[in-house]
Amino acid sequence: MRELPPDPATTDVREVSRTGEDAQVIVVGAGPAGSSAAYHLARAGVDVILLEKARFPREKVCGDGLTPRAVHQLIRMGVDITAPGWTRSRGMRWVAGEHRVHIDWPALGRYPDFGLSRSRHDFDDILARHAVAAGARLYSGWKAERPLTDRAGRVTGVAASSDSPDVPEPVDFRAPVVIAADGASARLALALGVERDPRRQI
């Protein structure tokens, strides 16, 4: 299977209603978790909006390694892992001073026996394009500012601001289900009063 066209169908800022946008599910963050969730939801026929503050492709300081389990998910999504840009790995290596440990990936039945690596510069872009091809509506350059809640405190969407000067005020994106895939910053969770566990790094 070939890669998708290089330019994802990002919703034009001029088409965004100033009174807000509605969907069945809103996914905040088009990283690997967010785009994968949006892909599977859209494939199931769900009307899903995918909000991403950046514009792809873009650089990101993060590990590029994927385990066989992750590779299996890419294959399920129809990502062409034979295309240029993918590097296979046969295991993991830990180096600490003079000590080195190498462990091959185990044989796990339906999972491949290899891992992959790919620069985050275009990895997230590839996944976002697959989500759009499945039917998700991608809004690039939109930063979720705060959650929207009803009188009972239930989350009903997010208010997001655009990086375009054509949209000077935040716009409400409404949905009965909101998935916070906004990474380690966890802006939405913190805005809802969820406290970080100081015993955990993530």
pLDDT at 4 over 70: no
Same domain, 144 and 192: yes
Least confident stretch, 62-66, 117-121, 167-171, 197-201 = 197-201
Same domain, 24 and 88: no
| Domains contained in the chain, number | 2
Please compute, for residue 189, the number of CA atoms within 13 A of its CA located in the half-sphere on the CB side: 14
Q: Are residues 26 and 106 in the same domain?
A: no
Same domain, 80 and 168: no
Is 107 a residue whose pLDDT tops 50? yes
Name 74's Cβ contacts closer than 8 Å, sequence gap at least 6.
Answer: 66, 81, 116
User: What pLDDT does residue 29 have?
Assistant: 95
57 and 91 housed in the same domain? no
CB 193 within 8 A of CB 39: no
Give the pLDDT score at 179: 96
Comparison of pLDDT for 202 and 157, the residue scoring more = 157
- Look up the domain containing 84 and give its range: 65-118
Provide the pLDDT confidence category of residue 186 given band limits of 50, 70 and 90: confident
Verify that 46 and 137 share a domain, yes or no. yes
Buried b (16+ CB within 10 A) or exposed e, 148-182: beeeeeebbbbbbbbeeeebeebbbbbbeebbbbb
Task: Classify residue 19: in a domain, yes or no.
Answer: yes
- 78 & 132 share domain: no
Round to whole Å and give the CA distance between 21 and 172: 6
- Please state the rounded mean pLDDT for residues 1-7: 45
pLDDT tens digits, one per residue of 67-89: 999 999 999 999 999 999 999 99
Which secondary structure element, helix H or strand E, spans residue 187, and what is its range?
helix 187-191
Distances (CA, A) of 20 to 11, 23, 167, 198: 14, 10, 12, 37
Q: Are residues 85 and 136 in the same domain?
A: no
Position 2 confidence tier, pLDDT thresholds 50, 70, 90: very low
The answer to the question of residue 202 being in a domain is no
Last residue of a domain, one of 89, 118, 147: 118
pLDDT value at 188 more than 90: no
pLDDT at 8: 53
Q: Which amino acid is at 173?
A: F
* pTM of the complete model: 0.87
196-200: average pLDDT: 80
CATH code at 140? 3.50.50.60
Same domain, 132 and 183: yes
Query: Residues 71, 107: one domain?
Result: yes
Model confidence at 195, pLDDT cuts 50, 70, 90, reads confident
Mean pLDDT, the chain, whole residue set: 89
Listed range (2-11, 76-85, 175-184) with the worst mean pLDDT? 2-11
Statement to judge: residues 47 and 130 lie in one domain: yes
Q: pLDDT category, 12, cuts 50, 70, 90?
A: low
Q: Cα 128 to chain center, whole Å? A: 7
**146 and 99 inside one domain:** no
- For the record, the structure tokens of 167 come out as 């949209």
Does 5 have pLDDT greater than 70? no
Quote the pLDDT of residue 200: 77
User: Of 118, 134, 151, which one is at a domain's C-terminal end?
Assistant: 118
Cβ contacts of residue 112 below 8 Å, gap of 6+? 68, 71, 72, 75
